[in-house]
A = this chain, B = another copy of it.
Amino acid sequence: MKQILIIDDDEKLGKLLIQYLERYDMKVHVALTPSKGFELIKKIKPDLLILDVMLPEKDGFEICREIRAKSSIYGQLPILMLTAHAEVTDRIVGLELGADDYLPKPFEPRELVARIHNILRRSSDDNSVREIKPINGLEVDMSRREVKLDGDVLDLTTMEYELLVLFMQFPNKTFTRDELMNRLRGIDAELFSRAVDTLVSRLRHKLKDTSKTPRFIKTVWGRGYTFVGEQI
């Protein structure tokens, strides 16, 4: 599992990322201050550092420079910079100082994941794609983004695929609609709508799971949904 350290004083963002990146097999640690950050770098030896430009004490550029200059074990630590404004100058400075990539805030969680994978792939051969155990005739190959039901390849949309992956990574866990919405879209989307229900419905349909005794996705009445794992 990839260890990722975020140095950012935005607590909320940190918590969100901890949740969101979890299912991409990344363990996220958050440091609210640079000093705490340096401490954690030594402690957890992260595979990737995500750095906010705006920080108390010293700014992200400064930190980036320091890390690169120390050229110890961490001199090559991949760094992804978060900048408040998508200014080109920022970008250039950042990259010159040795950041491996940058991402303007606010960003799409998916975009973040894509960039993280990119950087990790570059820095080492990225085997970070976590394997998902086949359950009850349903297999997911994340490196190929391929889903097979009883041997047949399924054609899933992005959302459907992500929902399925989420479910299968936590079989038997009951997700509330809120939770699913948050994990899938990254935003605290206040659930006025029934988007999740629709999505589940569509996924069920493709999984041929529309009978009353579901093979895969069980409705937990009044709570949410559960992907049923191995029956014992």
Q: Which residue of B lies closest to A177 (CB)?
A: B114
Query: In the assembled complex, how far is the CB of residue A76 from the closest CB belonging to chain B, in whole angstroms?
Result: 8
Q: Is A198 part of the contact surface with B, judged by Cβ < 8 Å?
A: no
In Å, the complex CA distance between A114 and B122 comes to 31
Is the pair B178, A118 in contact by a Cβ cutoff of 8 Å? yes
In Å, the complex CA distance between A213 and B143 comes to 24
In Å, the complex CA distance between A145 and B176 comes to 10
In Å, the complex CA distance between A121 and B175 comes to 14
Chain B contacts for A146, CB-based, 8 A: 172, 174
Chain B contacts for A193, CB-based, 8 A: none
Is the pair B118, A158 in contact by a Cβ cutoff of 8 Å? no
Is the pair B176, A114 in contact by a Cβ cutoff of 8 Å? yes
Query: In the assembled complex, how far is the CB of residue A34 from the closest CB belonging to chain B, in whole angstroms?
Result: 20
In Å, the complex CA distance between A188 and B173 comes to 33
Which of B122, B172, B187 is A122 in contact with, Cβ under 8 Å?
B187
| Most chain B beta carbons < 10 A, residue from A157, A174, A182, A222 | A222
Which of B143, B173, B174 is A173 in contact with, Cβ under 8 Å?
B143
Q: Is A192 part of the contact surface with B, judged by Cβ < 8 Å?
A: no
Query: In the assembled complex, how far is the CB of residue A160 from the closest CB belonging to chain B, in whole angstroms?
Result: 10
Which of B122, B158, B173, B182 is A221 in contact with, Cβ under 8 Å?
B158
Chain A residues close to B by CB (< 8 Å):
69, 114, 118, 121-122, 143-146, 157-158, 172-174, 176, 178, 182, 187-188, 220-223
